[in-house]
């Protein structure tokens, strides 16, 4: 498997974040929440931070009320999420 660049993860952050949310939901619904790794739980937390910042920025953008602070937070959390996802994927991808 060819490693992907950080820019690829940033570009696809929305879809990747949805994958993490879906995986979390499936495992919790199946009663497997206790078996999720600490690393996955940390990635899920970063995912939630990104999605919250993105939702805030999108809502403010919709009403032409986006502040520089909101835009910066969205960008920073997107990059943090992409870095975390990349590290997680590169560590665990061989298991898949």
Of 11-15, 48-52, 89-93, least confident by mean pLDDT is: 89-93
- Summarize pLDDT for 45-88 with one digit per residue, the tens: 999 999 999 999 999 999 999 999 999 999 999 999 999 999 99
3-state secondary structure the chain: CCCCCHHHHHHCHHHHHHHHHHHHHHHHHCCCHHHCCHHHHHHHHHHHHHHHHHHHHHHHHHCCCCCHHHHHHHHHHHHHHHHHHHHHHHHHHHHC
């Amino acid at each position: 498997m060819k490693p992907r660049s950080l820019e690829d993860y940033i570009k696809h952050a929305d879809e990747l974040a949805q994958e993490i949310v879906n995986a979390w939901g499936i495992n919790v619904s199946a009663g497997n929440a206790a078996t999720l790794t600490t690393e996955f739980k940390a990635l899920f937390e970063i995912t939630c931070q990104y999605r919250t910042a993105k939702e805030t920025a999108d809502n403010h953008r919709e009403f032409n009320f986006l502040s520089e602070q909101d835009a910066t937070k969205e960008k920073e959390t997107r990059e943090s999420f992409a870095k975390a996802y990349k590290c997680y994927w590169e560590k665990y991808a061989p298991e898949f």
